[in-house]
Chain A
Amino acid sequence: MATQITNFSRTGLSDFVIQRVTAVILLLYTVVVVGFLLLGDVSYTSWRGLFDQTWMQIFTLLAVLSICAHAWIGMWTVGTDYIREHYFGSKADAVRFLYEVISIIALVVYLLWCVKILWGN
């Protein structure tokens, strides 16, 4: 019987591993982007040039895919810990479901938006 239907990968163990792998990807991406903005000669030309490179486009898409998985797992964890009958009363399940759907839709919008920014403009 399925008892978990809104968590990311359906099992806690693979959610655990995915959360950590995506965390490391996002850590590296943060270092690269913040490093460029801090140390690089930032102009439209250099910034555009960075994002015109294939490795940066793939790295950025990988980062946003990581955000999707990481934030889904994180938001699910927070929601199932706090938005519960024990604290929220009888409407807790409905409120949490709405919260989860809004979170997931936001992440899908981010993913599609990122694809458009990288390859659609």
Chain B
Amino acid sequence: MKNDHRPDNLDPSNILFGFAWPLAALASITHRISGVILLVAIGFGLYALDLSLSSEQGFESISGLINTPLGMFITWGCLAALAYHFVAGIKHLLLDFGYGESLAGAKRGAQITFTLATILILLAGFWVTQG
């Protein structure tokens, strides 16, 4: 719980805008935020899995719930967090293997991450509303 060995890099009076936000930093904080969202999303996912496997009626009722406007929004939100976290996680693993560690590489990695995630999030929206 206690850890006194960490540096204080952020100005507490201006945590959000007290320093520059390069694209790689935005990619990193978005990875963290999407991860925290996923902790909640897992709860929705287990609820859906529980209902869908309980019986034929349960399967029909979760299908119906997902097709309401609120259900679509929640499903799409969960899928969006998953999509971003998935792509950013692969970037992280590639960095662990030494790919894209230069300053230019970090910027390109962040650009690719945001581009691919945006495409997947749009496709997820299409899937949820049309599929």
Contacts and interface: CB of A to CB of B under 8 A. Distances in A.
Given A30-B82, A117-B50, A103 B59 contact: no
A118 B8 CA distance: 45
Interface residues of B, number: 34
A13 interface: no
A71 B2 CA distance: 19
Contact of A96 (B1, B12, B36, B50): B1
A6 B127 CA distance: 39
A97 B89 CA distance: 27
Contacts of A59: none
A20 B96 contact: yes
Contact count band on A? 35 or more
Contacts of B35: 71, 74-75, 78
Interface string B1-27: 111011010101001000000000000
Q: Name the prevailing secondary structure of the B interface residues.
A: helix
Given A6-B1, A71-B39, A106-B39, A30 B53 contact: no
A71 B35 CA distance: 8
B52 interface: yes
B121 interface: no
B19 to A, nearest CB: 14
Contacts of A36: none
A116 to B, nearest CB: 8
Contacts of A43: 59
Contacts of A71: 35, 38-39, 42
B108 interface: no
A87 B15 contact: yes
21 contacts: A3-B2, A3-B3, A4-B1, A20-B93, A23-B93, A27-B86, A48-B53, A71-B42, A74-B36, A77-B32, A84-B8, A87-B10, A93-B1, A97-B1, A107-B39, A110-B42, A114-B46, A116-B50, A117-B46, A117-B49, A121-B54
Given A4-B3, A117-B46, 4 more contacts: A23-B89, A38-B127, A106-B39, A117-B50
Interface of B: 1-3, 5-6, 8, 10, 12, 15, 32, 35-36, 38-39, 42-43, 46, 49-50, 52-56, 59-60, 82, 86, 89-90, 92-93, 96, 127
Closest 4 CB pairs of A and B: A44-B59, A86-B8, A6-B1, A44-B56
